[in-house]
């Protein structure tokens, strides 16, 4: 399973970005999908996640500003980010809990990351 993230970039504080992540390859089933981020010198942290059925979870700092969604038919997860702050600057990674076949257990897969930079 390969995850390809896109949509990062440079934006001014208060601006918005929409990240996308497409899963491809030998996919039997994708369970949860999510976005994590890692700022320089900090640990990777959960931004938001979404189940196969559409239930969502957000980190407290992102509630009300970020919206996660997914298109199961396209194996794609999105992250709409509004009212961006300089402290949102980080590399954003997509994540999927997926199975490659009926006889295989699910495991976590990671995308390559996309840089989001918010200038003040």
Contact (Cβ atoms closer than 8 angstroms) between residue 49 and residue 63: no
- 51, 48, 49, 29: which is closest to 106 by C-alpha? 29
- Determine how many CB atoms are found less than 10 A away from the CB of residue 51: 14
* pLDDT value of residue 95: 97
* pLDDT value of residue 65: 96
* pLDDT value of residue 17: 98
* pLDDT value of residue 13: 98
Q: Which residues of the chain have pLDDT under 50?
A: none
């Amino acid at each position: 399973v390969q995850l390809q993230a896109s949509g990062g970039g440079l934006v001014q504080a208060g601006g918005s970005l929409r990240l996308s992540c497409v899963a491809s390859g030998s996919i039997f089933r994708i369970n949860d999908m999510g976005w994590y981020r890692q700022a320089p010198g900090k640990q990777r942290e959960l931004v938001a996640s979404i189940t196969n059925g559409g239930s969502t979870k957000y980190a407290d700092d992102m509630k009300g500003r970020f919206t996660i969604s997914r298109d199961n038919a396209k194996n794609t997860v999105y992250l709409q980010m509004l009212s961006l702050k300089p402290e949102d600057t980080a590399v954003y990674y997509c994540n999927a809990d997926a199975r490659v076949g009926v006889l295989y257990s699910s495991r976590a897969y990671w995308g390559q990351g996309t840089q989001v930079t918010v200038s003040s």
